[in-house]
Structure 1
Amino acid sequence: MSERSLFLDRGIGETRGVVLLDGRPERLLIERDGDDQATRLGARHIGRVRKVEPAFASAFVDLGGVEALFSFKPDARPVEGQSLEVEIRTEPRVGKLATVRVIGPAQGAPRLLAAPPSMAEQLVSFARGVEIIEGREARQVADEAEAEALDIIHPLPGGGNLAIEPTRALVAIDVDIGERKGNDVKRVTRAANLAALAAAGRLLRLKSLGGIVVIDLVGRGHDGNALLTAARAAFSPDNPGVAIGPVGRFGTMEMTIPRRAPPLAETLCDANGALSNLTLALRLIRAIENEGAAQPGARLTAVCAPAVAQSAKPLAEKLAAKIGARFTIRPEPASPRERFDVSAS
Structure 2
Amino acid sequence: MSARRAFLDITPGETRGVVTLDGRPEHLLIRRDDDDPRLEPGARIAARVRKVEPAFASAFVDLGEGLEALLDFPPDRRPVEGQMLEVEVRSAPRPGKLAGVRASGPGEAPVRLLAPGPTVAERLARLVRSQDLVTGAEARRMADAAEEAALTEAHVLPGGGLVVIEPTRALVAVDVDLGPRKGPDPKSLVRQLNLAAIAETARLLRLKGLGGLVVIDLAGRGHDGTALLNAARNAFAADNPGVAFGPISRFGTLELTLPRRTRAAAEILLEPGGAPSDRTLAQRLVRRAESEAEAETGRVVKIQAGPGLARLAWPLVDRLAERMGARFDREVASDWPRDRFEITVP
TM-score, normalised with respect to structure 1: 0.96
Deviation at residue 35 of structure 1 after TM alignment: 0.8
The aligned residue for residue 6 of structure 2 is 6
Q: Which amino acid aligns with 2:10?
A: R
The aligned residue for residue 137 of structure 2 is 136
Q: Which amino acid aligns with 1:99?
A: G
Q: Which amino acid aligns with 1:332?
A: A
Q: Which amino acid aligns with 1:186?
A: K
Deviations, residues 246-293 of structure 1 (Å, cap 9, x unaligned): 211111111100001111111101122210011011101111110111
Q: Distance in 2 between matches of 1:330 and 1:182?
A: 57
The aligned residue for residue 46 of structure 2 is 46
The 5-angstrom pairing of residues 220-259 of structure 1 reads 220-259=221-260
Q: Which amino acid aligns with 1:61?
A: V
Retained in 2: the 8 A contact 1:216–1:253? yes
Percent of matched pairs sharing the same residue: 57
Deviations, residues 284-335 of structure 1 (Å, cap 9, x unaligned): 1111110111111222223333322222121111111122222223333564
176 and 338 in structure 1: CA distance in 2 versus 1, 3 angstrom threshold:
farther
Q: Distance in 2 between matches of 1:314 and 1:336?
A: 20
Q: Which amino acid aligns with 1:38?
A: R
Q: Distance in 2 between matches of 1:163 and 1:185?
A: 21
The aligned residue for residue 191 of structure 1 is 192
Deviations, residues 222-249 of structure 1 (Å, cap 9, x unaligned): 1111110111111111110001112111
The aligned residue for residue 307 of structure 1 is 308
300 and 197 in structure 1: CA distance in 2 versus 1, 3 angstrom threshold:
same
The aligned residue for residue 264 of structure 2 is 263
130 and 180 in structure 1: CA distance in 2 versus 1, 3 angstrom threshold:
farther
Retained in 2: the 8 A contact 1:44–1:86? yes
Q: Distance in 2 between matches of 1:336 and 1:145?
A: 26
Retained in 2: the 8 A contact 1:28–1:206? yes
Q: Distance in 2 between matches of 1:314 and 1:154?
A: 37
Gaps spanning 5+ residues in structure 1: where? none
Gaps spanning 5+ residues in structure 2: where? none
Deviations, residues 75-94 of structure 1 (Å, cap 9, x unaligned): 21111111111111111111
SS in structure 2 at match of 1:283: helix
Q: Distance in 2 between matches of 1:211 and 1:104?
A: 27
1:115 aligns with 2:109: no
SS in structure 2 at match of 1:138: helix
SS in structure 2 at match of 1:247: coil
Deviation at residue 336 of structure 1 after TM alignment: 5.0
The aligned residue for residue 298 of structure 1 is 299
Q: Which amino acid aligns with 1:63?
A: L
Retained in 2: the 8 A contact 1:5–1:130? no
Deviation at residue 197 of structure 1 after TM alignment: 0.6
The aligned residue for residue 63 of structure 1 is 63
The aligned residue for residue 216 of structure 2 is 215
Deviation at residue 344 of structure 1 after TM alignment: 1.0
Q: Distance in 2 between matches of 1:108 and 1:288?
A: 46
Q: Which amino acid aligns with 2:151?
A: L
The aligned residue for residue 171 of structure 1 is 172
Deviation at residue 29 of structure 1 after TM alignment: 0.5
Number of corresponding residues: 345
Q: Report the RMSD for the aligned CA atoms in angstroms.
A: 1.4
Q: Distance in 2 between matches of 1:187 and 1:341?
A: 51
Q: Which amino acid aligns with 1:45?
A: I
The aligned residue for residue 28 of structure 1 is 28
The aligned residue for residue 274 of structure 2 is 273
The aligned residue for residue 15 of structure 2 is 15
SS in structure 2 at match of 1:246: coil
